[in-house]
Amino acid sequence: MDRPEKLAEALRAAFYLADDSLATAAYLSLALGKPLLLEGVPGVGKTETAKALSGVLGRRLIRLQCYEGIDVSAALYEWNYPRQMLAIRQAGENPVDIYSDEFLIERPMLAALRAPHDAVLLIDEIDRSEHEFEALLLEFLSDFTISIPERGTISARERPVVILTSNRTRELHEALRRRCVYHYIAYPDPEREARIIMMRASGIAERTARAVAAAVGRLRQEPLSKPPGIAEAVDWAEAVDLLGKAGAPWPEVFMRSIGVALKDQEDLSFMAPRLDALLAEVAA
């Protein structure tokens, strides 16, 4: 894959439609050996990108879901304390190295570092973690090394493929952004979204896909607390298709399956007065 276009093609074969800039960013990240930082609102397919990329590269995906309070023992490594304790007891007078490999438990980041050839590391939703964890990431992302006090520094023989995602619930540290190749994923335009729907959900008529893409596009313009993402659009298209096959009339199927797209009572009641007209318009 020596061109972004070829990567985009490969991703398409893995059922992921990437636009030019995403393909370029992903290609650059692979070619330059830098982590890829993806930002975007929930539901635009950030995690999917990582899955598709790992599929294309034929590597397993190691996923590290971030949360508040995530620390070294959950992200990097942990010592197997009970076994260390047993080893000390069993050794008696003999010397024993309780910091050897057999007592080291790999966590996602160390695992990716040790097997750069067959893993893609996905660090998901970094914005959920705190600044402490971001600082920890800096060493890892710039040099691909991990310092274990009892063991010294472990460095990667080759740079692993790392993908970071953020929902932008808070701003990430500049130093982190600087170390990465960056791409902001926006909602796709209706044209592309229709193609995504047809690709992701099998056997959906083009007419349905287009109507659903137009409808979610319109819904995203409204001040909703949970605007429908791409996954919702795909689900909605499938629901419409299913109900349509069961014999429900065409524009009405959208209304009956609205619960797949709008999953918030407040949003539903906010949209209720205008929903019929909106759906009739896009379904026409």
Residues making contact with other proteins (CB under 8 A): 4, 20-21, 24-25, 28-29, 31-32, 34, 37, 39-42, 67-69, 71, 79, 81, 84-85, 88-89, 98, 130, 132, 167-170, 174, 177-178, 180-184, 186-187, 220-227, 266
Taking the least distance from each CB to other proteins, the nearer of 69 and 259 is 69
CB 259, min distance to other proteins, A: 20
Residues 147-178 as b or e (16 or more Cβ within 10 Å = b):
eeeeeeebebeeebbbbbbbbeeeebeeebee
Nearest CB to other proteins, comparing residues 117 and 168:
168
CA distance 270 to 161: 43
3-state DSSP call for residue 176?
A: helix
**Whose Cβ is closer to other proteins: residue 58's or residue 92's?**
92
Closest CA to 116 of 25, 10, 2, 35: 35
The residue (of 117 and 170) whose beta carbon lies closer to other proteins is: 170
* Shortest CB 236 distance to other proteins, Å: 18
In the complex, least distance from residue 263 CB atom to other proteins, rounded to whole angstroms: 13
Question: Closest CB to other proteins among 20 and 281?
Answer: 20
Q: In what order do the strands lie in the sheet with 119-124?
A: 60-65, 119-124, 161-166, 36-39, 181-184
Tell the smallest beta-carbon distance from residue 125 to other proteins (Å): 12
The whole-angstrom separation of Cα 107 and Cα 109 is 6
CB of 111 to other proteins, least distance (A): 20
H-type helices in 172-264, by residue range?
Answer: 174-178, 190-200, 206-220, 230-245, 250-256
Beta bridge partners of 182: 37
